[in-house]
Amino acid sequence: MAEFLKLRTAEEAWALFLRHFQPAPARETCALVDALDRVLAEDIVARHPLPVFSRSTVDGYAVRAADTYGASAGAPAYLDVVAEVAMGAAADFALEPGEAALVHTGGMIPPGADAVVMLENTNRLAAPMFGGRPRQAGFTAFAIEVHRPAAEGEAIIQPGEDVSAGEVVLRAGQVLRPQDIGGLAALGVTHAPVMRQPRVAIVSQGDEVVPPDQEPGPGQVRDINSYTLAALVRRAGGVPINYPIVPDEQAALDRAVRRGWEEADIVVITAGSSVSYRDLTAAAINRAGQPGVLVHGVAIRPGKPTILAMCDGKPVFGLPGNPVSCINIFLHFVSPTIALYLAERPAPARTTRARLARNIAAGSGRADFVRVRLEEREGETWAVPVFGKSNLIFTLVRSEGIIEVPLNSNGLPAGDEVTVVLD
């Protein structure tokens, strides 16, 4: 009747799991408008430079810089303006010495020009002074005074200044942010190669568990874990598949696990924490495929009665039924498994530093994960532990993050600076 869990540390458990995990991720393409937060499946190489042509960064006159050397307000340089480069139009004429062309911000720089003088540093005169002939039908040439010399390259973006042809601009495994999507658009990649999101089957078990839209009778509780797990799967980049609640019966659990295994890439079972539930779960997992249960019991609190398993190539997890433990273990093992499936490059967790508001005793022989809420006091952030049994979902609702009291530590004294992993 006693607990026969063989506890492993989180690190040992994960290492053992990894030795059996060969993720077989698949790729797909995704319209750019839907690509936010998807994981890129291959390196993106620029097929052409960006920009493709020289562009002005200001409103002004494209000039030959040498024509403006020594110019000042007192002794301006004079140039004939022979064309205006319309936005989106090619500058299909070459600028001769003594000539200039009106350009707009983002407009193309005509051949021959090597700098742009801002409008503010010029003065427009009536007629051309050097017989400058218009290069465009309908354009009336005029002259300008230039009051400041322009350096070669001034106010011009050169071709390839943003990106060179052949450059790797985005790397496989990265999660696409808004600007990355902009970068893909700039290169004409309207369908992004992304990793297929793994489907995660969520099987919630227990005779006492009823769907949340049902009024629980005496001894019954509403299903919480199906909902938190589905949200956590989404946040980790997977696609959740929820199944009806499974009663406390081996054959029903076997069928549900089998169905999850067939329809999904990863199976997550959450059941009560009683020994009988654990035995049912382990048996169902061992029947679902080889080698079956790898780890049964992890030195983590909350979350000790955890199962890590591999069934014919697909990861299967048995999570504790207590909602707090369930979430803690999901973040420890299932989120990283989804990330591996997505071949996602490791990103640092979202953390903040805070000062601990109360002593936290050491857990004996296990890593302790303590929920905290954050409080600002006199310009400092304090982490206030939110204690409570691991069945109390609202301890999580009241908290904003988590701190770890490592295995074999002496606890954490109040006033210490700690790292809070934010929700």
Query: Segment 281-320, which members bind a copy of itself (CB under 8 A)?
Result: none
- Annotate each residue in 119-138 with x if it binds a copy of itself (CB under 8 A) or - if it does not, as one string: xx---x--------------
Q: CA dihedral defined by 175, 177, 181, 187, rounded to 10 degrees?
A: -70
Choice between 88 and 379, CB closer to a copy of itself: 88
* Residue 340, SS3 per DSSP: helix
Span of 29-37, 72-80, 280-288, 362-370 interacting with a copy of itself by CB under 8 A:
29-37
180 in contact with a copy of itself (CB under 8 A): yes
Nearest residue (CB) to a copy of itself, 213 versus 378: 213
Report the residue number, 92 or 262, with the smaller CB distance to a copy of itself: 92
Identified binder of a copy of itself from the candidate list 111, 182, 244, 406, rule CB under 8 A? 182
Structure tokens at 24: 């077989």
In whole angstroms, the minimum distance from the beta carbon of 322 to a copy of itself comes to 8
Nearer to a copy of itself, 74 or 348 (CB): 348
Does 85 sit near a copy of itself (CB under 8 A)? yes
CA 305/CA 7 separation, integer angstroms: 9
CB of 183 to a copy of itself, least distance (A): 4
Map tokens 């030195």 to a residue. Answer: 299
* Residue 178 engages a copy of itself in binding (rule: CB under 8 A): yes
**Of 101 and 310, CB closest to a copy of itself:** 101
When computed from its CA atoms, the radius of gyration of the chain, rounded to whole angstroms, is 33
Q: Which residues contact 62 (CB under 8 A, 6 or more apart)?
A: 56, 85, 91, 95, 100, 101, 102, 103, 109, 110, 113, 115, 116
Letters for 351-390 (x = contact with a copy of itself by CB under 8 A, - = none) are xxx----------------------------------xx-
Q: Work out how close the CB of 61 gets to a copy of itself at its nearest, in angstroms, rounded to a whole number.
A: 11
Of 62, 65, 150, 184, which one interacts with a copy of itself (CB under 8 A)?
184
- As a whole number of angstroms, the distance between CA 50 and CA 34 comes to 24
For a copy of itself, the closer of residues 13 and 102 by Cβ is: 102
To a copy of itself, the closest distance from the beta carbon of 396 in angstroms equals 4
Strands (E), 215-363: 221-222, 239-242, 266-270, 291-296, 300-301, 307-311, 314-319, 351-356
Tokens (6 digits) for 291? 């080698």
Whether 263 and 241 have beta carbons less than 8 Å apart is answered as yes
Q: Are 234 and 338 in contact (CB under 8 A)?
A: no
Shortest Cβ 196–a copy of itself spacing (Å):
20
Residues 204-233 that bind a copy of itself (CB under 8 A): 206-209, 212-232
300-to-10, 135, 406 alpha-carbon distances in Å:
7, 77, 9
Query: What amino acid is encoded at 188 in this protein?
Result: G
The yes or no reply on residue 162 touching a copy of itself (CB under 8 A) is: yes
Among 161, 279, 380, 417, binds a copy of itself (CB under 8 A): 161
CB of residue 371 vs a copy of itself: minimum separation in angstroms?
9
327 binds a copy of itself (CB under 8 A): yes
Amino acid at 381: T
Tokens of 35: 């690509």
Q: How far is the CB of 137 from a copy of itself (least distance, A)?
A: 17
H helices of 6-134, in order, are: 10-19
For a copy of itself, how many residues bind (rule: CB under 8 A)? Answer: 103
Site for a copy of itself in 36-75 (CB under 8 A): 36, 50-53, 55, 57, 59
Q: Least distance in Å: CB of 316 to a copy of itself?
A: 21
- Partners of 421 in the beta sheet? 351, 402
- Closest contact distance (angstroms) between CB of 23 and a copy of itself is 23
| Residue 61: both structure tokens together | 């006159």
Widest distance between CA atoms in the chain = 105
φ, ψ for residue 374, nearest 5 deg:
-105, 140
Q: Of 20 and 355, which CB lies nearer to a copy of itself in the complex structure?
A: 355
Tell me if 103 sits within 8 A of 116, measured CB to CB: yes
- Taking the complex as a whole, the smallest distance from the CB of residue 15 to a copy of itself amounts, in Å, to 24
